[in-house]
Structure 1
Amino acid sequence: MKTPLALHNLLHQPLQTGVSIAGVAFALLLVFMQLGFMGAVAFTATNVLEQLEFDVLLRAPDYLHLYEAGQIERGELKVAANTPGVRSAQPLWISVQNWRSLPTRAQSQDEDFQSQYLPIAVMAYEPSSPVFRSPQIQALSNQLREDTILLDESTQADYGPLDDQPLIPFLPWRLGRFSDADVGRETEIGGKSFTIAGLYRLGTGLAANGALITSPAGFARMAPIDINTTTSLGLLQLDSSDAGQQAQVVERIKQRLRVIPPGVRPQDDNLEESTGVMTVLTKEEALAAERFRWLWQTPFGLIFQMGVVLSLLVG
Structure 2
Amino acid sequence: MFTDLPLAWLQLTREPSRLLAAVAGVAFAVLLVFMQFGFSEALYASAVRFHAALVGDLFLINPQTSYLVLTRQFSRRRLYQVLGFDGVESVNPLYAALALWKSPYDGSARNIFIVGFDPTQKVIDLPGVDVNQQFIRLPDVVLFDDASRPEYGPVADQLKSSKAMALDLEQGHVSVQPSNTVSVEVSNRRISIGGLFRMGTSFGVDGTLITSDLNFLRLLPNREKGLIDIGVIRLRSGVSPEAMRATLAAYLPHDVEVLTKRGFMEREKAYWATTTPIGFVFAFGAIIGLVVGLVIVYQILFADISDHLAEYATLKAMGYTNRYLFSVVFQEATILAVLGYVPGFLVSLWLYHMAENATLLPLRMSLSLELTVLGLTVGMCCASGAIALRKVRSADPADVF
TM-score when normalising by structure 1: 0.81
SS class of match (2:113)? strand
SS class of match (1:258)? coil
Moved more, 216-225 or 297-306: 297-306
Structure-to-structure mapping, 1:255-266, within 5 angstroms: 255-259=250-254
What RMSD over aligned residues (CA atoms) do the two structures have, in Å? 2.0
Moved more, 122-131 or 183-192: 183-192
Contact residue 157 and residue 178 of structure 1 kept, 8 A: no
CA distance in 1, matches of 2:17, 2:269: 45
Residue number in structure 2 paired with 1:295: 273
Structure-to-structure mapping, 1:227-246, within 5 angstroms: 227=225, 229-241=226-238, 245-246=240-241
Q: Given the superposition, is the C-alpha separation of residues 193 and 19 from structure 1 closer, same or farther in structure 2, using an over 3 Å criterion? A: same
Contact residue 48 and residue 203 of structure 1 kept, 8 A: no
The code of the aligned residue for 2:193 comes to: I
The code of the aligned residue for 1:253 comes to: L
Q: Shift of the alpha carbon at 1:23? A: 1.0
Contact residue 155 and residue 178 of structure 1 kept, 8 A: no
Gaps of 5+ in 2: 163-179, 294-401
Residue number in structure 2 paired with 1:148: 141
Residue number in structure 1 paired with 2:331: none
Residue number in structure 2 paired with 1:226: 224
Residue number in structure 1 paired with 2:65: 63
- Aligned to 1:121, which of 107, 113, 122? 113
Give yes or no for the alignment of 1:186 onto 2:178.
no
Contact residue 154 and residue 202 of structure 1 kept, 8 A: yes
- Aligned to 2:151, which of 150, 155, 158? 158
Give yes or no for the alignment of 1:213 onto 2:210.
yes
The code of the aligned residue for 2:280 comes to: L
TM-score when normalising by structure 2: 0.64
Asked which structure has the greater CA Rg, the reply is 2
Residue number in structure 1 paired with 2:249: 254
Q: Given the superposition, is the C-alpha separation of residues 280 and 16 from structure 1 closer, same or farther in structure 2, using an over 3 Å criterion? A: same
Q: Shift of the alpha carbon at 1:8? A: 2.6
Give yes or no for the alignment of 1:101 onto 2:111.
no
CA distance in 1, matches of 2:85, 2:158: 43
Q: Given the superposition, is the C-alpha separation of residues 162 and 123 from structure 1 closer, same or farther in structure 2, using an over 3 Å criterion? A: closer
Contact residue 91 and residue 231 of structure 2 kept, 8 A: yes
What is the aligned length?
Answer: 271
Contact residue 48 and residue 204 of structure 1 kept, 8 A: no
Q: Given the superposition, is the C-alpha separation of residues 218 and 295 from structure 1 closer, same or farther in structure 2, using an over 3 Å criterion? A: same
Deviations 1:139-196 (A, max 9, x none): 1111012310000011222222258xxxxxxxxxxxxx66424851211111111111
CA distance in 2, matches of 1:100, 1:5: 68
Q: Shift of the alpha carbon at 1:314? A: 1.1
CA distance in 2, matches of 1:61, 1:246: 19
Q: Shift of the alpha carbon at 1:231? A: 0.8
Contact residue 159 and residue 195 of structure 2 kept, 8 A: no
Q: Shift of the alpha carbon at 1:241? A: 4.5
Moved more, 4-13 or 288-297: 4-13
SS class of match (2:48)? helix
Give yes or no for the alignment of 1:10 onto 2:12.
yes
Gaps of 5+ in 1: 104-113, 164-176, 260-276
SS class of match (2:185)? strand
Deviations 1:59-111 (A, max 9, x none): 011111111121011111000122221111111100100011111xxxxxxxx
CA distance in 1, matches of 2:5, 2:256: 73
Q: Given the superposition, is the C-alpha separation of residues 3 and 206 from structure 1 closer, same or farther in structure 2, using an over 3 Å criterion? A: closer
CA distance in 2, matches of 1:194, 1:308: 45
Contact residue 121 and residue 210 of structure 1 kept, 8 A: yes
The code of the aligned residue for 1:84 comes to: D
SS class of match (1:36)? helix
Structure 1 runs (4+) deviating above 6 angstroms are none
SS class of match (1:92)? strand
Structure-to-structure mapping, 1:28-39, within 5 angstroms: 28-39=30-41
Deviations 1:226-249 (A, max 9, x none): 21x11110011111445xx32222
Deviations 1:236-287 (A, max 9, x none): 1111445xx322222221232113xxxxxxxxxxxxxxxxx11111111111
Residue number in structure 2 paired with 1:47: 49
CA distance in 2, matches of 1:137, 1:305: 36
